Structure 1
Amino acid sequence: MYVLLDPDPGDEPARDDDELLVRTALERVTDGALPLPDLVPGALVRGRRRRARARAAIGATATAIVGLGVLGAALPVWGGDGEPARAWSAASQTSPVPTPTSVPVPVRPPVHIEPSPGESSMADLPSDELSRQRVFQNEAAGVLETLLPRAMGPVRPVDIAVSRYQGGAGGRVFPLTFSVRPLPTGKAARADRPCVDVAVKHLRCDEVSLPGGIMAQAVTASGNAEGGKTITGVTVRFRYGHSRVTLAVGGDDTAMVSAPVTADDLLAVARDARFMEMVAYADARPMEAEEGSVRGG
């Protein structure tokens, strides 16, 4: 579930006004994050090619993770038994600095989403870059599953873009965005959007201080999407280095179930050293297009 407003010029195209109302505010508050792709299969012939390439990439990723790892010490492995430590109450735990080890991280097979006609996907990347992003996604999924509330598990990467993940079990699907997107500079630079409450759109925004003096915007947005039911999504976003970081969880808009997390849950993730280590890597070695650019095929 994403609440969307019309994007600024140069951002992703706006969605149809007849889509879920609850999609209207989170695109505004997740400025720069890529929209969820259409789940309806398309471009079948090209899809077969992409699926074959994706399967090959998954195998290459597994080799990279089990061996020395594509990212080396920049993405340490957490936990002593090959599994990320499962500490479900992120808000109550401390944030110890992780210790790099040589223990392999379990590979989480990505969820496949067929690109819409004209849309690109990770399968279109050069093999080296695809492998790097696969390893990053695998590591990030483990960290997010560890830090988010238990209802979000298991967390898996989504193969449409490095910023896309999904969580949930028992038939629930909660879209999750973890984006570290380079900010434009010079004349293309844009001011941050103000943090304001919009009661008519059921949108609340709070400014919160993170470690290191980072100021974050924590947004909760909800709306009546279908049959009078209200579903809610949450977003935390902030600047880090040369990038805008967006962490967002949406509701299951098929089952009409709100995101099983709160803004405080996401802030607890953002305060954790393990999450910020992933942010620092992605800021130093960008994997997404510059904010404001249009992603296409």
Structure 2
Amino acid sequence: MSTPSNSTTMLYLVPLIIMSCMRFVLAANFHRDFDILWGNGRGSILSNGKIVRLSLDEYSGSGIQTKCPYFFLRIDMQIKLIPGNSAGTVTAFYLASEGDKRDEIDIEFLGNLTDEPYTVHTNIFTKGNGSREQQFHLWFDPTRNFHTYTITWNPFMIVMYVEGTPIRVFKNMESNGVPYLKDMPMRVYLSLWDGDQWATRGGTVKTNWSESPFKAWFRNYKVRGCVWMNGESSCSSGSSNTVKHDWYNLKELDSSSKEMLKLVQHKHMFYSYCNDSSRFPHGFPLECDEK
């Protein structure tokens, strides 16, 4: 029996890859849409692709990534965090491009001692530069049930949501000299890892490995996005698939969402780089002036 040439094989494989990526926009299945990235068996896709369980012990954590990169998207992810003494652990839900000069949008959940609140640590990197941290305490117990966390990234702004409530906005202010995330596609990542050098009270509370393995759970994600394939976005201006949806065209929060954002930041945000004069003695970053 003859075997196909490499070029012929690629002709068959490329349409399959494209179909998989396009289906990812429309439906949700971890088996089909994500690859286990690391962890040597500590990351598991369960229930016919409906649930991911990530595990962390003293030897390793675990993580997964989407098969397809995206160039703008909205993703909702239901997460149930580690119960009990989770000090030192970091459960992460984020977008990132490749390379040292990466773009990145982070939502990281920093564990704590039993009955102490989790910290939601957020950050935004542009071309490898971060230092845009904002931190919050949640207004519910994120370990008892699944809760929905959302990242919207479009040409105009980045918005992070908790249970539909906006907690952080980062606008495209390139006209004012602020770099924005619009040059590199990004994949979606989920990971669980040991961050006890910094994660809990600045690293003063260490991971208690006698309570490992620690486990976090993910399910019911929904992606609406622009697939990046062969150097082009499925939402490019010349494409018939140009996005017309609300998430892509969102330029401003509505008045109700702005009020919710203000309330959450007043009651639940306990750190913002835009208020830390010790880090910026010569003036805050330009985006801190945006109201």
In the superposition, the TM-score normalised over structure 2's length comes to: 0.23
Between structures 1 and 2, the one with greater helix share:
1
Largest Rg, 1 or 2: 2
